[in-house]
Amino acid sequence: MIVLHSIISLFATAVYLFLLCYLTIGWARLKTPKTIKRAFTTKVTILIAARNEEDKIALTIDDILAQDYPKHLYELIIADDHSTDRTAEIISGYADRGVRLLQLRDNKVLNSYKKRAIAEAIRISTGDFMVATDADCRMGPQWLSCIINYHESNDLVMVSSPVTYFEEKTLFEYLQTLEFMYLIGIGGAFIGNKKASNCNGANFAYRKDVFYEVGGFSGIDELASGDDELLLQKVAAKYPGRIGFLKRTEAVVYTHAKHTLTEFMQQRRRWASKSTKYKDKKIIVFGICIWLFNLSILVNAALGFYNTYFFKLVLLQLLLKYVFEFTYLLPLTMFFKRVWLISLLIILIPIHVIYFVYVGILGNSKRYDWKGRNVR
């Protein structure tokens, strides 16, 4: 029995290490595109779905209005999703600077409020290229021009760009930043390996005609989340070679880590809930393999109380996990210019094992709270 269990554990470990190698290679394949000076021609619509964001939305709007992209070639539409605070009032204060407020006022009960907000904003947009971000994000002045330069230079129908956390104040938030880099790297690595499957909706762009060509959010609108990855997978099925990941620091969007454990777990459960609708089954298998590897570590740790051999097996698994994740994460921390965060990996690894198994179970079995609503 011990031999059989050891073989299963080592096999799960080998599969996980193989996947990390795949990610490391995929990220390395992404080249930093050269900035080509050009006379821009693309009419852009920047989309934001906002709900109760009075504390931060003005900063986001100011950053977008400060973009160096030609003013006559972009518009900002913010869909206010039934906010109960001053969000709509703050947005209205920018009307004289061309910011368009779309207020959703109906009382129809939905599960995919954000998708509806984005779809309604696209419906009234005048741009040909949609650039989506969130109402609590920050970006530099070259953000938009960098994305459009990449889009025009490579004739892409969809562009995924990097997102990271900033302004951390606690160890918990710094650990989230490192773990979030892991997730952003997965999206970039898959695109680098020509298998686009993951992205982040806080920095996500696509052609409007392609959005309608694939049916928009139809077929994925019963889930609260998934306005990014599930849409990307629909587009990837039709245009597999025309989705890019913009590996430039000027294109990075900055947002904040969750302040409390409860907020963090709700967010991760929301992200995990999308996996049941993934069209690309390879991604589902990818996630299951990672989950099984982490589960094997927990099982071996429990068995160690009955036989110390399993403690040795756990130590081997954790050592290999550390070495390969260090190799994968180092280039990512270098890209985001936060190399020192890699020193937190030794703390993050045991925490990550426990939470990943936990979220993998709850993310597909229960409803969760999101912006004051109970959804699934």
List the chain residues with pLDDT less than 70: 1, 106-111, 224-225, 273-277, 279-280, 363-376
Which pLDDT belongs to residue 363?
63
- The angle, 0 to 180 degrees and rounded to 10, between the axes of the packed helices 345-362 and 309-335 is 100
**For residues 69 and 316, what is the distance between their CA atoms, to the nearest angstrom?**
52
Nearest to residue 254, comparing CAs of 205, 202, 204?
202
Q: Which residue has the tokens 């936990």?
A: 358
Which pLDDT belongs to residue 53?
94
> Residue 282, exposed/middle/buried by CB under 10 A (0-12, 13-18, 19+)?
exposed
Nearest to residue 126, comparing CAs of 98, 153, 147?
98
Nearest to residue 2, comparing CAs of 351, 321, 306, 347?
306
Global pTM value: 0.91
Which pLDDT belongs to residue 97?
94
Which pLDDT belongs to residue 54?
93
**For residues 217 and 220, what is the distance between their CA atoms, to the nearest angstrom?**
5
Query: Residue 50: helix, strand or coil by DSSP?
Result: strand
Residue 286 tokens read as: 């990818």
**DSSP-derived secondary structure for 117-164:** HHHHHHHH---SEEEEEETT-EE-TTHHHHHHHHHHHHT-SEEE--EE
- Provide the residue ranges of all domains of the chain, joining segments of one domain with +: 2-26+281-375, 31-257
**For residues 234 and 157, what is the distance between their CA atoms, to the nearest angstrom?**
12
25-82, pLDDT tens digit by residue?
999 999 988 877 778 999 999 999 999 999 999 999 999 999 999 999 999 999 998 8
Which pLDDT belongs to residue 277?
67
Which pLDDT belongs to residue 219?
79
CATH number among 3.30.70.2740, 3.40.1370.10, 3.40.630.30, 3.90.550.10, domain 31-257: 3.90.550.10
Identify whether the C-beta of residue 201 lies closer than 8 Å to the C-beta of residue 187. Answer: no
Which pLDDT belongs to residue 109?
53
Nearest to residue 113, comparing CAs of 224, 244, 259?
224
